Amino acid sequence: MTKKRSKDQYIFQVKEESELLQFLLQNLDQGRNRTKSMLARGQVLVGEKAETQFNRNLVPGDTVTILKHAVPTNKNKGITILHEDDDVIVINKEAGLLSIASSKEKQQTAYHQLMEHVKMQHPKNRIFIVHRLDRETSGVMVFAKTEKVKRSLQDHWKQVVKKRTYVAVVEGRISEQQQTLVSWLKETKTHKMYASAKDNGGQKAITHVKKLAANKKHTLLELELDTGRKNQIRVQMEQIKTPIVGDKKYGAATNPIGRLVLHANVLSFKHPITNKTLEFKVEVPSAFYQLVKE
């Protein structure tokens, strides 16, 4: 017997002895893999405690609660899972955390932590990089849970992504309320990008810029990407002589809040399997606004 207590959870009363996974399969109208995913994400409670072991023994009188959404966990450092299904994981990455491993850091990355997360469900599970955020950039990222989904997202990125915006604070005052930056980007042997206003054979980069606020020292900008080139926003801001605050690599002279002041706040994309449009928005850090107070 199922009792719907609210739009966010369902409650089941156990009538006879059973293992948890078998009980869920009998009472939920969904497949085995999706059910095990819910267990791994902490969406199943026995009594008042989240239960991840599929072979947990249930006895008559036990209460099983199914949560519609995963319960946030503190096990991951520097990431918050915003959405997870059988195909994708969407996270909010904090500044200072690598997206993927570097030569100096292998484990403290968003990729490694999410790999460990999905392996809780099954040891053979994996995740796949779709795009990256720089270490010091915070905000929304999406990972694929299968290679097929990864290829689908990457091969059709321009068509799949409906909106991708960042917020940044730059040094200096920008007078234009709105502008579109078009550049051609190339990479030096030292892995620094540089931009040219003319076609130099590099990758074309297009960014739409909107001024949100400003004072004498800084300007708060919303930046919407048409293209997703390496360090695109950072190098284009240097090109117009208003580098992002905290970005020493690309010309910044100041670092008042101890980080690159760049945040990926909105990502909207068409789900590669369901074709539904998903949109995720992460609030801009309050310290960004403090920098443009009058």
Active site residues: 134
- Alpha carbon distance, N-terminus to C-terminus of the chain: 61
CA gap 262, 87 in Å, rounded:
28
**Dist CA 166 CA 132 (whole Å):** 13
Cβ atoms 101, 77 nearer than 8 A: no
Long-range Cβ contacts of 142-145 (<8 Å, 24+ apart)? 142/88, 142/89, 142/90, 142/91, 142/267, 142/269, 143/88, 143/89, 143/90, 143/91, 143/110, 143/111, 143/114, 144/87, 144/88, 145/86, 145/87, 145/88, 145/89, 145/118
The CB density around residue 199, as the number of other CB atoms within 10 Å, is 10
Instruction: Round to whole Å and give the CA distance between 32 and 239.
Output: 53
Q: How far is CA 103 from CA 76, 106, 135, 248, 260, in A?
A: 22, 7, 14, 21, 21
∠ CA 77-112-192 to the nearest 5 degrees?
Answer: 95
Phi and psi dihedrals of 99, rounded to 5?
-70, -50
Task: Give the DSSP H/E element, type plus range, for residue 143.
Answer: strand 138-144
β-strand partners of 144: 88, 128
